[in-house]
Amino acid sequence: DEYSCDALFDSCIHWFRERCFVLCGDDAITEVFYQLEHRVLKCEEELFREKMQALILGLLNNRQQFRLITKNSRWSSLEFPLMQAIVNHDDLAIASEEEIVGLVDRWNAQGDKPKDELAQLLAAVRPQEGA
């Protein structure tokens, strides 16, 4: 395992999750999200793909990062499997489940998403207590 890149990969993941936003700012964290999401579905190594997807989802756990990433014009270009993982992610930095509807609406900003995909995403909205 002398030549294993797992430790290096894990160090990079940790840096992006813990330090990138603090050290590099808004534009960098947004770019990291969209560059990784573009590559995650193309990654053939299952463990690396899972770690990259966990990082992508983890970037949405911070409210400031969440707002930067989801308000970006590239939001509507996300692939359906990633959108599905996002709306089902338990640790999103959202104030209420109603924000999921807004995420789906922005994802479909061009009105080009299949209705069955929209229905699947909206099914992830959990009813609020007392509603």
pLDDT at res. 131: 54
Q: What is the mean pLDDT of residues 100-126?
A: 95
DSSP letter (8 states) at residue 94: -
pLDDT at res. 130: 60
Cβ 128 vs Cβ 111: under 8 Å: no
Question: Does residue 114 or residue 10 have the better pLDDT?
Answer: 114
pLDDT confidence tier of residue 3, bands split at 50, 70 and 90: low
Helix (H) or strand (E) holding 113: none
Q: Nearest Cα to 68, choosing from 26, 108, 106? A: 26
d(CA 131, CA 100): 16
